[in-house]
């Protein structure tokens, strides 16, 4: 089974999810999305697969969310996705993709349904 994780090694939750994936016997494809930002198309595809709008994937804490004015409810989805691509730290983590689906794995135990 191919499993991909959008991972931030500085995030305890992301590290825990990676550990759970490995404990299940799977070595995932690890995408350090802060160093290698997903494309706009990849972000859109992940959102569609999760049935989520971009606001659901935006991270506020420790990001430029406020300084970029992303709380403005008049901003379009396209604008929010462009901001996530330009500033990948804005993407909440970890996002895990497997043949069983795509999910934002917060809390970490949510990954179990994908393995």
Question: What does the pLDDT look like over 10-46, one tens digit per residue?
Answer: 999 999 999 999 999 999 999 999 999 999 999 999 9
The single residue of 11, 26, 30, 45 carrying the catalytic annotation is 11
Give yes or no: 11 in active site.
yes
Q: Could you read off the pLDDT of 77-94 as tens digits, one per residue? A: 999 999 999 999 999 999
Q: What is the pTM of this model?
A: 0.94
The Cα–Cα gap between 38 and 104 comes to 15
Alpha helices (runs of H) in the chain, residue ranges in sequence order:
12-23, 40-50, 77-86
CB-based contact 3:26 (threshold 8 Å):
yes
CB-based contact 89:63 (threshold 8 Å):
yes
Domain ranges of the chain: 4-114
The Cα–Cα gap between 60 and 115 comes to 28
Residues 6, 7, 10, CA angle at the centre, nearest 5°?
A: 155
Q: What is the CATH number of domain 4-114?
A: 3.40.30.10
């Amino acid at each position: 089974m191919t499993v991909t994780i959008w991972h931030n090694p500085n995030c305890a939750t992301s590290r825990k999810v990676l550990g759970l994936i490995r404990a299940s016997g799977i070595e995932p494809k690890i995408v350090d999305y802060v160093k290698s930002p997903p494309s706009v198309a990849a972000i859109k595809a992940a959102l569609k697969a999760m049935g989520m709008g971009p606001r659901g994937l935006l991270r506020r804490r420790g990001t430029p969310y406020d300084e970029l004015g992303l709380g403005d409810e008049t901003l379009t989805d396209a604008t929010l996705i462009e901001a996530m691509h330009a500033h990948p730290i804005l993407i909440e983590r970890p996002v895990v993709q497997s043949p069983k689906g795509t999910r934002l794995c917060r809390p970490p135990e949510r990954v179990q349904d994908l393995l």
